[in-house]
Amino acid sequence: PSLLPPDHGAAVVLTIDRGLQTIAEEVANTGRERYEAERAQVIIMDPNTGALLALAVSPTFDPNDPSAIRDVEVFKNPVVSDLFEPGSVLKPLIMAAALDADLVEPDATMTDRGPVNIGPYTINTYDGKHHGTVTMTEILEHSNNVGMVWVAQKVGAERLYQFLRRLGIGDRTGVPLEGEAAASLPLPETWGETRLATIGFGQGIVATPLQALTASAALVNGGRLLQPHLIRE
């Protein structure tokens, strides 16, 4: 019998930064314990390139000892496989839609007189506080749900839908990780006044954590929607 020498494959260099990854893992663990959460994730991405610099999940498992895991859900990567309502993470994107359509300026104002009634629902601020006349900048500073409802109504369902689609909401990012989920963004004609209002503060639609991060990165890189990636070379 003859011995055939192996063909060596290519070396792969990841974009992950070891120092940032260590810190991200510590933050994820600490945050999950502090808030008694089922799961925590931390993602760090270069918004100018889409390079993923850290991607941490808590709880996780030791890949050298997978048999120690009793809950198979831990094997999933929630950064790409779990869908959630972004909540306040989405507010800057909604405000960006209004700015992009020239409907508001950062110093434009609206008056927050208290909770607003949308159909059978009453929408309030997260802390129950109201600040009267506020600028668009102050709405974001206070994470003001009432102000964001006003902004979403000003933009309207069709324009808001098109803007969020351009930011990749409702689509997979294409990151080379197994099990990436995506839920289609509901068509604007199905929204109604309630969904339009709740989307203003990030509820009523879902995305993965990585989709929300990728969309947010476009706000700081000049409006470019990048594909996140893990392979440097």
pLDDT at residue 75 is higher than 90: no
The secondary structure of 156-219, three-state, reads: CHHHHHHHHHHCCCCCCCCCCCCCCCCCCCCCHHHCHHHHHHHHCCCCCCCECHHHHHHHHHCC
User: What pLDDT does 68 receive?
Assistant: 83
Q: Which tens digits make up the pLDDT trace of 89-116?
A: 999 999 999 999 999 999 999 999 999 9
Q: Which of 25-29, 39-43, 66-70, 139-143 has the lowest mean pLDDT?
A: 66-70
pLDDT at residue 84 is higher than 80: yes
* Alpha carbon distances (Å) from 43 to 9, 57, 116, 178, 212: 29, 9, 35, 17, 11
Angle at alpha carbon of residue 183, lines to 178 and 186, rounded to 5°: 165
Residues 6+ apart with CB under 8 A from 30: none
Q: Which tens digits make up the pLDDT trace of 15-25?
A: 999 999 999 99
**Per-residue pLDDT band at 165 (split at 50, 70, 90):** very high
* Mean pLDDT of the region 194-210: 96
Q: Which tens digits make up the pLDDT trace of 166-193?
A: 999 999 999 999 889 988 999 999 999 9
State both tokens at 107: 């110093």
pTM of this prediction? 0.89
The catalytic site residues sit at 88
User: What pLDDT does 44 receive?
Assistant: 98
